[in-house]
Amino acid sequence: MVGVSLVSTGEATAQSFSAVHTFGAVSGPNATNTDGANPYGGLILSGSTLYGTATYGGGSGWGIVFALDANGTSFAALHHFTGGSDGANPYAELFLTNSVLYGTASAGGGFGAGTVFSVDTNGLGFAVLHSFTVPVKNSFGFYTNGDGADPVAGLILWGDIIYGAGNIGGTSGRGALFSVGTDGLGFNTLHSFSSGTGAAYSSAGLILVGGSLYGTDYANLGNGTVFAIDSDGTGFTNYYGFSVGHLNGNGVLTNMDGANPRANLVLAGNTLYGTAENGGSAGNGTVFAINTDGTGFTTLHNFEAGAYSSGLYTNRDGIHPSAGLILSGHSLYGTASGGGKWGNGTVFVINTNGTGFEPLYHFTATPPYPAAQTNSDGANPSAGLVLSGNTLYGTTPYGGVTGNGTVFSLKFAPQLTISVSGADIVLTWPTNAAGFDYSAFVLQSAPEVTGPFTNVTGATTPYTNAMAGSQLFFRLSQ
């Protein structure tokens, strides 16, 4: 008789969550540690190494740049910000080219208003490419300068030119778009946001499509816009302004399209996809799509209403998505910074046509304030994800065993289910789920659990095997 191991039928995907790294406790008057704290920015992946920033902590308490093996080993602090000329409090993800990481620090620098920096992947060669000047209060009460300040968004590269955004400053005090060479030369203010009917606050990164830069601002024309600008700084156009809406009975802004986008966009074909942190039918934010020519705006998902439980706002799908999306095939993956089953946010997937929304992971609850906001997995993901194979990687700025945040992985693999039917066993597994294509997985068998395993020729789901002869062990292998 064939040896049979029965496994219970579960969800279509076997989700394997891991807190790859938990940031350590801080101590002393400057809240210092060895590995940083509160990673608000996202990650980039090169080979098997994740690179990112932690906004606080580190040797001086002003944040770090770090590298981490994707399996959680060999964490390295590549640079500890001092709060001086090098910058302080990096909020954004990095980008990598030719073994050099580029990023922004939201404060510090030569004038205290933030920096653009570079550092080699081995931690050497740190350089400040630009120090933003201090905004000065004008007669209207706005803090203005010529180059912007407080960069909290990531950078992009085209050739040897870096493009980015300052969240405040500029000639109207509402933020500015800039470019600078990878050697730190040729800084250029491409655009200073004007008042419109409200502020701008460009807290999101840019993407490049042809010769145009596309981005979002948080509050221009009231509730924010999707805009485009030529890479030379000409042709600025607000392609879409999020609607005014109204306040519901709880004083929450609701509308049909969302409000206050603070995340970068992602492109598929001629369509841009993004998130709005607020607004929508419940006031909890939206996922949206818009064509690159400004037409065809579509609300793909309204994050649902919820209720408070033990001091945390809970619902089915999450609330307040403040991060950009990533695209794989026809699926968009993202994070919501709050809500979900336990009130601390979710990882979600949605098809590019707006169907198939599914919360993939709910971050677990933390104790009620003012107790330390600790748990096992992290809380309030505020940055986007990176995808490698069928594994998503991300950060949470809070939660974890110290409350100072985590780097996490969420792996999706098809689950093999074995059941008995008369004198046969029947093995079943999904071919796709949650946007992941499992066609590369094959059924294998072996006479011992230790192998050797060989492919079962022609096996497709469901696969039937008679319970006769020597024992066999089965697995799915990619």
Which of 221-225, 284-288, 369-373, 431-435 reaches the highest mean pLDDT?
Answer: 284-288
β-strand pairing of 176-181 with 161-166 = antiparallel
pLDDT at 7 over 60: no
Instruction: Please tell me the distance from the alpha carbon of residue 373 to that of residue 25, in angstroms, as a whole number.
Output: 12
CA neighbours closer than 13 Å in the CB half-sphere of residue 425: 20
pLDDT band at 15 (very low <50, low <70, confident <90, very high): confident
Neighbours of 231 (CB within 10 A): 18
Please report the pLDDT score of residue 346 as a whole number: 98
Neighbours of 318 (CB within 10 A): 31
Instruction: Please tell me the distance from the alpha carbon of residue 90 to that of residue 63, in angstroms, as a whole number.
Output: 7
pLDDT at 347 over 60: yes
Neighbours of 171 (CB within 10 A): 18
pLDDT band at 467 (very low <50, low <70, confident <90, very high): confident
> What would you measure as the largest C-alpha separation in the chain, in angstroms?
89
Please report the pLDDT score of residue 221 as a whole number: 74
Q: What is the pLDDT of residues 360-389, one digit of tens each?
A: 999 999 998 889 999 999 999 999 999 999
Q: What is the DSSP letter of 331?
A: E
pLDDT at 345 over 50: yes
104, 153 contact by CB (below 8 A): yes
351 residue type, one letter? N
Give the whole-number percent of the chain exceeding pLDDT 70: 96
Give 143's strand partners.
Answer: 137
CA neighbours closer than 13 Å in the CB half-sphere of residue 141: 1
> For 27-36, 87-96, 435-444, which range has the lowest pLDDT when averaged over its residues?
435-444
Please report the pLDDT score of residue 196 as a whole number: 56
CA-to-CA dists, residue 245 to 9, 216, 271, 391, 470, angstroms? 45, 19, 25, 38, 69
280 residue type, one letter? G
Instruction: Please tell me the distance from the alpha carbon of residue 29 to that of residue 24, in angstroms, as a whole number.
Output: 16
417, 428 contact by CB (below 8 A): yes
Q: What is the pLDDT of residues 256-298, one digit of tens each?
A: 999 999 999 999 999 999 999 999 999 999 999 999 999 999 9
Please report the pLDDT score of residue 470 as a whole number: 85
Neighbours of 355 (CB within 10 A): 10
Please report the pLDDT score of residue 11 as a whole number: 37
**How far from the centroid of its chain's Cα atoms is residue 163's Cα?**
19
273, 263 contact by CB (below 8 A): no
Which among 399, 360, 393 has a CA at the least distance from the CA of 380?
399
Considering only residues 201 and 140, tell me which one the structure prediction assigns the higher pLDDT.
Answer: 140
